[in-house]
Amino acid sequence: MPPVELALLFKAYAAQSRHAPQDITDLYNLLSIAFEYPVDQIGGWKIGTPPVSRTRLDAARTLHALADSTPLEPCMPWRTRHARAMSWPTRAYQRTD
């Protein structure tokens, strides 16, 4: 199983080209895992940690573009709607630990 950050990078690129609703759900789930578990349990986390590499920076930009272009659906969980309103995924890739 790949580290969560690597899975997020791959899924961000896939979501950008495929535009499948399942990709958005997968991204949300990966970001939720990244927030809920310590860095050492998810295989590390460097997105948002200076200096940001080209791959991670590209993924962060892709995540922002996806967040800006994804409409908020009424069926989305409360947590998702409010996380998006609070600049999701900005918080998601800037860990505090």
pLDDT in tens, the chain (97 residues): 789 999 999 999 898 888 788 888 899 899 899 989 999 999 998 887 777 778 888 888 888 888 887 665 544 554 444 444 444 444 444 555 5
Question: 81 Cβ partners below 8 Å, 6+ apart?
Answer: 72
Tell me: the pLDDT tens digits for 75-95? 455 444 444 444 444 444 455
pLDDT at 88: 41
Q: What is the pTM of this model?
A: 0.68
* Rounded Cα–Cα distance for residues 52 and 56 (Å): 6
For residue 51, give both structure tokens.
Answer: 């200096």
